[in-house]
Structure 1
Amino acid sequence: MATAEIPSRHKALVYDEPGKISTKIEEIETPKPGVGEVLVRLTHSGVCHSDMGVMTNSWSWLPAPTQKGQVGGHEGVGEVVAFGPGTESTVLKKGQRVGIKWMAYACTQCPACLAGLDASCSSGKISGYYFPGTFQQYAVAPAHYVTPIPDGLPSDVAAPMLCGGVTVYAALKKSGAQPGDWVVIPGAGGGLGHMALQIGSRGMGFRMIGIDAGEKEKLAKECGAEVFFDVTKYGKDADASKKLAEDVKQATGGLGAAAVVVCTASNVAYGQALSFLKFHGTLVCVGVPEGEPEVIKNADPATMLVSSLRIVGSAVGNRKDAIETLDMAARGVVTTRFTTEKMDKLNDVFERMDKGKLQGRVVLDLSD
């Protein structure tokens, strides 16, 4: 697309009533890329549970409530259509497909970035939270931080990989599990969970156990779960959690799992997770519960040191993780189970998400 064809205004989905599930399509001014930036014509954007957390102000740990008129979204795919000063000589080319991630910008030079922990960048910017996100047709992005999309990987398939896929891949890497080890995925049939099952089983050689509502069993097993537990058949009290833990350990030969990667925003799941682990096992925290945070049960010093357990936090991934995830997607190791919706259906998507009715992911088609 030639620069002359770039419109002066374009469609964007904004959070018009932060604190509620409410989005509105507006026409906004198309930005011009600044120094070190590129302008991307977005064609698709994944819809993530994190978008709902930002929109509804349900994450108490965020430093400020979401501003009215915020353009949400952080799983955008499109093509480079214009360069800002200083970017023309980069490896990017006009018309090249790139992705915009949860971290819209990371400096790459601070201690966190040098450690490969981009999400903790001291000057990082989050796409869709005080930085224009990907629920729009044009977006500005730092040239050094967009992710190239492999040839042959469709844009709608690539979009959810930029957060969901990268997040679970990075988390599985941090779990310490080895090929042949058992790994438990609470939230197995959701957007994160169904990708974690695929990457863990097909890409990393783990034996996967899925935990979720019964209607998601078919999807979980298709994605690589050897064993599935219907969480609705257990209660939420201590006895029910104990029975679930016993069943998980029986499925693993009596020892327990090497890792539990919690892919659901559920305090109950976190309360159960440590009881699934074997000696020297690892709990990886991925899903962020809404409301006030709760203390993880059984994480007392005696339990932790006697069983040599670890609790690890994992927030999305870095640039290398993103490239490796998209490579796995291009090779067919992981595929996204998704449905495609137009921009005007986003409120309905969030309503279904809030009720736990989504299986896999939803991708927005950003075309007119």
Structure 2
Amino acid sequence: MTSKDSEKCNRAAVYAEPGTVKTEVVELPIPTPGPGEILVRLLYSGVCHTDYAFCMNKISSLPVPTAKGQVGGHEGVGEVVAQGAGVDFPEVGEKVGIKFAADACLSCTNCLEGFETGCSKLKVSGYYTPGTFQQYCLSTARYATPIPEGIDLVTAAPLMCGGITVYASLKRSRVQSGDWVLVSGAGGGLGHLAIQYAKVMGARVLALDIGSKEALCREVGADNFIDVLQLSAEQLASRVGEITSGGAKIAMICTGNVQAYEQALSWLGFRGTLICLGIPDKEGALRPEISRMIDREIRIQEPFSAYKASNRLEAKECLEIAARKGIKVHSQLRKLEELSDVFQEMEDGKVKGRVVLDLS
């Protein structure tokens, strides 16, 4: 093993009582990378709504509840400080990111089709595998994402999940220049990134959120904004139709709000595509009207939540675009000890943009 670090402990935030927002900061040993692994000294970690869901045991599709003492997090960035046997790249000193998918087999049909997060041998950062709410984290070398020049690490951290998710979903939707992309939950962590990646791809963006988030949405590029609290469902659908000349080409639901899913199809025009990103608190929120779907030839894109997001190529593309085009993350730096408070703020819907934990 080669190394360039000499600290003696690893401060980490663990889920103290899964099912609640309670976390605890503990000191753990600094791990040693095995064959094919690297050790990363993490400097920042974004906090994703999926981390909150893991802590609260709210994702029913996962096979087992979150374990007490689990180190959460899956949006980490830092510097390689040690290599295990057989590792040539990334080199010690390189800046890398750690994302939701900690490792996959890369040989099964799902992996070969680019659906690496659907691998039956998938390792999940912050759920099956110790995640990025710690100062030192092991990563399979082949799965670490290089951080390009021209992007600061505070910005890069939330892109490791939030940015990758919205970029990959837009790429797969085949958005065209001039298309209207509607972003619901536009002022949130996913939404404000979705606006920017849609604009980079040449789309026009209609942002939907509460009025207090209008300034942020317009700052990051939204062409138009609707305060969802000021209109009834029928009025909202009518207003969307007026702005987009008959309905959006793509509607991205970046919130778990039940009402957003109940109304989503009414916002789409002919051959529109619905992209489901936020996870609603209850099943059945999306109720497709088959006649409407047939008449308008509406497509519902495969669900693209944070825990079904992208592959290694899309992660690389996402960061390169951010570096070249100046994607901005509206973020607030918080301490590791504040993670429980952050989760509570997420539950209360008080977070604007993204929260990034300072691990330095």
TM class by shorter-chain length?
over 0.9
Contact 2:189 2:354 in 1 (8 A): yes
Contact 1:260 1:282 in 2 (8 A): yes
- Match 2:208 to one of 211, 228, 235: 211
Q: Deviations over 1:199-241 (max 9, x none)?
A: 101x10000011111100000011111111111223xxxxx21
What secondary structure sits across from 1:68 in the alignment?
Answer: coil
Residue 69 of structure 1 corresponds to 69
**Consecutive unaligned residues in structure 2, runs of 5 or more:** none
Residue 45 of structure 1 corresponds to 45
Residue 94 of structure 1 corresponds to 92
- Match 1:268 to one of 238, 242, 259: 259
Residue type of the partner of 1:308?
Answer: E
Q: Following the alignment from structure 1 to structure 2, what is the Cα–Cα distance between the partners of residues 177 and 273?
A: 18
Q: Following the alignment from structure 2 to structure 1, what is the Cα–Cα distance between the partners of residues 194 and 93?
A: 31
Are positions 1:283 and 2:274 aligned together?
yes
Contact 1:104 1:142 in 2 (8 A): yes
What secondary structure sits across from 2:149 in the alignment?
Answer: coil
Contact 2:78 2:153 in 1 (8 A): yes
Residue 194 of structure 1 corresponds to 192
> 117-126 or 130-139: which moved more?
117-126
Contact 2:98 2:132 in 1 (8 A): yes
Residue 243 of structure 2 corresponds to 251
Q: 1:76 to 1:196 in 2, by over 3 A?
A: same
Q: Following the alignment from structure 1 to structure 2, what is the Cα–Cα distance between the partners of residues 220 and 320?
A: 28
Q: Following the alignment from structure 1 to structure 2, what is the Cα–Cα distance between the partners of residues 180 and 108?
A: 36
What secondary structure sits across from 1:163 in the alignment?
Answer: helix
Count of aligned positions = 355
Task: Compute the displacement of 1:300 (Å).
Answer: 3.4
What secondary structure sits across from 2:157 in the alignment?
Answer: helix
Task: Compute the displacement of 1:4 (Å).
Answer: 6.8
Q: Following the alignment from structure 1 to structure 2, what is the Cα–Cα distance between the partners of residues 97 and 53?
A: 28
Q: Following the alignment from structure 1 to structure 2, what is the Cα–Cα distance between the partners of residues 222 and 151?
A: 24
Residue 101 of structure 2 corresponds to 103
What secondary structure sits across from 1:210 in the alignment?
Answer: strand
Q: Deviations over 1:312-332 (max 9, x none)?
A: 122321111111111122123
Contact 1:174 1:284 in 2 (8 A): no
Residue type of the partner of 2:220?
Answer: C
Q: Following the alignment from structure 2 to structure 1, what is the Cα–Cα distance between the partners of residues 239 and 60?
A: 34
Task: Compute the displacement of 1:86 (Å).
Answer: 1.6
Contact 2:4 2:92 in 1 (8 A): no
Q: TM-score of the superposition, structure 2-length normalised? A: 0.95
- Match 1:325 to one of 296, 309, 318: 318
Q: Following the alignment from structure 2 to structure 1, what is the Cα–Cα distance between the partners of residues 286 and 113?
A: 27
Are positions 1:222 and 2:219 aligned together?
yes
Residue 304 of structure 1 corresponds to 293
Q: Following the alignment from structure 1 to structure 2, what is the Cα–Cα distance between the partners of residues 333 and 317?
A: 21
Are positions 1:341 and 2:334 aligned together?
yes
**Consecutive unaligned residues in structure 1, runs of 5 or more:** 235-239
Residue 173 of structure 2 corresponds to 175
Q: Following the alignment from structure 1 to structure 2, what is the Cα–Cα distance between the partners of residues 121 and 267?
A: 29
Task: Compute the displacement of 1:242 (Å).
Answer: 1.9
Q: Following the alignment from structure 1 to structure 2, what is the Cα–Cα distance between the partners of residues 265 and 225?
A: 21
Residue 34 of structure 1 corresponds to 34
What secondary structure sits across from 1:359 in the alignment?
Answer: coil
Residue type of the partner of 2:14?
Answer: V
> 166-175 or 183-192: which moved more?
166-175
What secondary structure sits across from 1:348 in the alignment?
Answer: helix
Q: Following the alignment from structure 1 to structure 2, what is the Cα–Cα distance between the partners of residues 259 and 333?
A: 23
Are positions 1:242 and 2:234 aligned together?
yes
Task: Compute the displacement of 1:8 (Å).
Answer: 4.6
Contact 1:175 1:261 in 2 (8 A): no
Q: TM-score of the superposition, structure 1-length normalised? A: 0.93
Q: Following the alignment from structure 1 to structure 2, what is the Cα–Cα distance between the partners of residues 193 and 161?
A: 12
Q: Following the alignment from structure 1 to structure 2, what is the Cα–Cα distance between the partners of residues 338 and 282?
A: 29
Q: Deviations over 1:221-265 (max 9, x none)?
A: 11111111111223xxxxx21221111001112x10101011111
Task: Compute the displacement of 1:173 (Å).
Answer: 1.3
Q: Following the alignment from structure 1 to structure 2, what is the Cα–Cα distance between the partners of residues 199 and 134?
A: 25
Residue 237 of structure 1 corresponds to none
What secondary structure sits across from 1:94 in the alignment?
Answer: coil
Residue type of the partner of 2:268?
Answer: L
Q: Following the alignment from structure 1 to structure 2, what is the Cα–Cα distance between the partners of residues 98 and 176?
A: 29
Q: Following the alignment from structure 1 to structure 2, what is the Cα–Cα distance between the partners of residues 51 and 4?
A: 30
1:68-147 equivalence runs, <5 A: 68-87=68-87, 90-147=88-145
Residue type of the partner of 1:20?
Answer: T
What secondary structure sits across from 1:13 in the alignment?
Answer: strand
